[in-house]
């Protein structure tokens, strides 16, 4: 916490609130039928993306998952362009060609949400290899779900990052479920023992606690930046919505989500911590809440009235040269 200035804290809160507001709005808009396709919401998990990305710069890379909106926002992607992308608009982040599951902005070090579980970790090894070879001083972070932690590509990446001594951090976001299947069942062994077996330090982190994530990520990222190799964070957290929008969540216990919102909400915890310690005032946070809500509202309005791509867009962007 020592390293975080008041400005940093304000930044962190803005990003977490932006993610929450973005996801709550997308949830409502999706239910109203305005948004096409598969949408996976990150609400509830904000402290992980923001706690990690507060340690990163534009030259650092992250790879995300299908549940990518939070990682995008935390890494600095333009929120209005993201919303437009989710609506499939021509001036969305990806020209309307990608949608929710493929939002990317390489200029911000965001290598994309990903429709393929386990798609990201190998890519991050590549980004880290570039950083190492080109001596940019950059690091690369792979966000992986508990489900994604069982993919061969993920486990191979653990090994590759170690044998190549790459500046990588693997952030396993364990929200307890992969679709309807519990991580308590699907993960053999443990995340930390897996890290150890591949020769990396691993730490378990409370993913509802921004400060805990920030500090653990700082240690891992500093280590990577110093050339001391990869590490793994096992971040335990919860998602507030279904696997995707439209999931009735019958596999969850009755009242599970309500209880989580009541007891371990990351935004509420952040607020308590910074106001009780006198670092920020409640009023300041209220103002942020209002401003963020207004800006997300504006993003939705802009997205709704934005133009769809047209026929000529269908054939472009397949190759650099033809």
Site residues for ligand TPP per CB under 6 A: 65-67, 115-118, 145-148, 175, 177-179, 243
Distance from C-alpha of 102 to C-alpha of 14, rounded to nearest angstrom: 24
Count Cβ atoms within 10 A of the Cβ of residue 320 and give its class: 0-12 exposed, 13-18 middle, 19 or more buried: exposed
- Binding of residue 134 to other proteins (CB under 8 A): no
**Measured from the CB atom, is 268 or 308 closer to other proteins?**
308
Overall residue count recorded for the chain in this entry: 322
**Measured from the CB atom, is 67 or 194 closer to ligand TPP?**
67
Residue 127: which of 114, 146, 148, 112 has the closest Cα? 112
**DSSP class of 307:** P
Pairing of strands 181-182, 177-178: antiparallel
- For residues 241, 49, 91, 307, the Cα torsion angle rounded to the nearest 10 degrees is 20
Residue 64: which of 101, 94, 98 has the closest Cα? 101
**In this chain, which of 6, 36, 190, 199 binds other proteins, going by CB under 8 A?**
36
- Binding of residue 68 to other proteins (CB under 8 A): no
98 binds, among Mg ion, other proteins, ligand TPP, none (CB under 5 to 8 A by kind): other proteins
Shortest distance (Å) from residue 287 CB to other proteins: 36
- Binding of residue 48 to Mg ion (CB under 5 A): no
**Measured from the CB atom, is 18 or 65 closer to ligand TPP?**
65
**Residues 13-32 vs other proteins: string with x where CB under 8 A?**
--------------------
**Measured from the CB atom, is 254 or 276 closer to other proteins?**
254
Estimate to the nearest angstrom the gap between the alpha carbon of 185 and the chain centroid: 24
Shortest distance (Å) from residue 27 CB to ligand TPP: 15
Within residues 254-273, the interface with other proteins by CB under 8 A covers 254, 256
96 binds, among Mg ion, other proteins, ligand TPP, none (CB under 5 to 8 A by kind): other proteins
- For residues 182, 186, 188, 194, the Cα torsion angle rounded to the nearest 10 degrees is -80
Q: How many CB atoms lie within 10 A of CB 225?
A: 16
67 binds, among ligand TPP, Mg ion, other proteins, none (CB under 5 to 8 A by kind): ligand TPP
CA distances (Å), origin 235, targets 175, 206, 263, 318: 8, 6, 17, 37
Distance from C-alpha of 118 to C-alpha of 180, rounded to nearest angstrom: 18
- Binding of residue 142 to other proteins (CB under 8 A): no
Distance from C-alpha of 238 to C-alpha of 173, rounded to nearest angstrom: 9
**Measured from the CB atom, is 92 or 121 closer to ligand TPP?**
121
- Binding of residue 157 to other proteins (CB under 8 A): no
318 binds, among other proteins, Mg ion, ligand TPP, none (CB under 5 to 8 A by kind): other proteins
Within residues 120-179, the interface with Mg ion by CB under 5 A covers 145-146, 175, 178
Structure tokens, 54: 């507060």
**Measured from the CB atom, is 118 or 230 closer to ligand TPP?**
118
HEC profile of 169-202: EEEEEECCEECCEEHHHHCCCCHHHHHHHCCCCE
What residues line the site for Mg ion (CB under 5 A)?
A: 145-146, 175, 178
What residues line the site for other proteins (CB under 8 A)?
A: 36-38, 88-90, 94, 96-99, 101-102, 114-118, 147-148, 150-153, 177-188, 249-254, 256, 308-311, 313-315, 318
């Amino acid at each position: 916490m020592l390293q975080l200035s008041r400005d940093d804290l304000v930044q962190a809160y803005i990003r977490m609130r932006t993610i929450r507001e973005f996801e709550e709005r997308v949830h409502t808009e999706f239910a109203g039928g305005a948004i096409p396709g598969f949408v996976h919401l990150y609400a509830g998990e904000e402290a992980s993306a923001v706690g990690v990305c507060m340690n990163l710069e534009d030259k650092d890379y992250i790879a995300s998952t299908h549940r990518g909106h939070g990682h995008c926002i935390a890494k600095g992607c333009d929120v209005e362009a993201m919303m437009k992308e989710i609506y499939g608009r021509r001036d969305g982040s990806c020209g309307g060609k990608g949608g929710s599951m493929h939002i990317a902005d390489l200029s911000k070090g965001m290598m994309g949400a990903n429709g393929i579980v386990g798609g990201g970790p190998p890519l991050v090894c590549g980004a880290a290899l570039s950083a190492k070879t080109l001596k940019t001083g950059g690091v690369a972070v792979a966000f992986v779900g508990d489900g994604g932690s069982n993919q061969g590509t993920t486990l191979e990446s653990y090994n590759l990052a170690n044998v190549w001594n790459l500046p990588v951090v693997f952030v396993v976001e364990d929200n307890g479920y992969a679709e309807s299947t519990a991580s308590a069942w699907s993960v053999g062994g443990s995340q930390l023992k897996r890290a150890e077996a591949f020769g990396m330090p691993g730490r378990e982190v409370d993913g509802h606690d921004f400060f805990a994530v920030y500090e653990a990520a700082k240690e891992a990222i500093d280590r990577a930046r110093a050339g001391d190799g990869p590490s793994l964070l096992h971040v335990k957290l919860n998602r507030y919505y279904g696997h995707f929008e439209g999931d009735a969540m019958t596999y969850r216990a009755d009242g599970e989500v309500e209880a989580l919102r009541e007891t371990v909400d990351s935004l509420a915890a952040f607020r308590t911590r910074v106001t009780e310690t006198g670092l920020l005032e409640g009023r300041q946070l209220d103002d942020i809440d209002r401003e963020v809500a207004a800006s997300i509202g504006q993003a939705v309005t802009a997205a709704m009235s934005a133009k769809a791509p047209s026929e000529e867009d269908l054939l472009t962007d397949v190759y650099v040269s033809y």
